[in-house]
Amino acid sequence: MEDRKKWNATGPKAAKQLAFFKPYFPELSTLSLENHSLCQTHYNQVVMSNRFYEHLTSYFQENPPDTDMDTQTPSYTDLIAELDVTKTILENVKQENMELCKKTKRTWQYLEEQARETEELTKRLQQAYEEVNTYQRLYEDQFERNRALIEQWDSRFFSRQKRIDAVVDIAKAERESLFDDISKLFEFWELGKKSID
């Protein structure tokens, strides 16, 4: 029963209706259509309804086929020649593709090298930034000390003993400052030596 539902169109009615499609499908002219059957879906689309035929005719009216096209079957030698041309084109494309792959590989290697250099430069820049911050802090500390000493100088020298005490304090502060500067200088020298190595 299922086969009857699927295959229900055989004979002259289907063949007659399919004859209208021969201009659009030249392969139909070589077939004996009476000996073929259609499935139910195609039977309904082709034999019972003209929608598909109308669609084809309107399509070909809007898009007429190229009449200058050679409809003859190409000869064996033409096919061999076309195959040789196609092989040559494929070989050329293969060579171009290989060259592009090589260029892509070289570009990728260059980009990786640039990334490594950028990373190294970023590290060096970060070290330089940290050194500048250290020097800035040292400068600010020294500036504050000097300002304190100036204030002491301006306010403490009303008597001779106070002036002597102030000079002693200044000398002590300068000695501490000089010792700190020398210690920091040695630390930075060691840091610089390590970063060069």
**Same-domain pairing of 58 and 81:** no
For residues 153-179, give the mean pLDDT. 80
- DSSP letter for 45, please: I
**Same-domain pairing of 37 and 11:** yes
- b/e burial code for range 6-34 (CB count within 10 A of at least 16 → b): eeebeeeebbebbeebeeeeeeeeeeebe
Count: domains in the chain? 2
DSSP for 11-33, written as a single string = SHHHHHHHHTTTTT-GGGGGS-G
**Same-domain pairing of 56 and 80:** no
Q: Are 131 and 194 in contact (CB under 8 A)?
A: no
Lowest mean pLDDT among 6-15, 28-37, 76-85: 6-15
> What is the structure's pLDDT at 118?
95
Q: For residues 125 and 132, what is the distance between their CA atoms, to the nearest angstrom?
A: 10
For residue 8, is it within any domain?
yes
Amino acid of residue 138: L
Q: For residues 81 and 42, what is the distance between their CA atoms, to the nearest angstrom?
A: 40
For residue 67, is it within any domain?
no
pLDDT tens column, 136-164: 999 999 999 999 888 876 775 567 777 78
**Same-domain pairing of 33 and 88:** no
**Same-domain pairing of 82 and 173:** yes
Domain, as residue range, for 6: 2-62
pTM for this model (two decimals):
0.32
**Same-domain pairing of 84 and 177:** yes
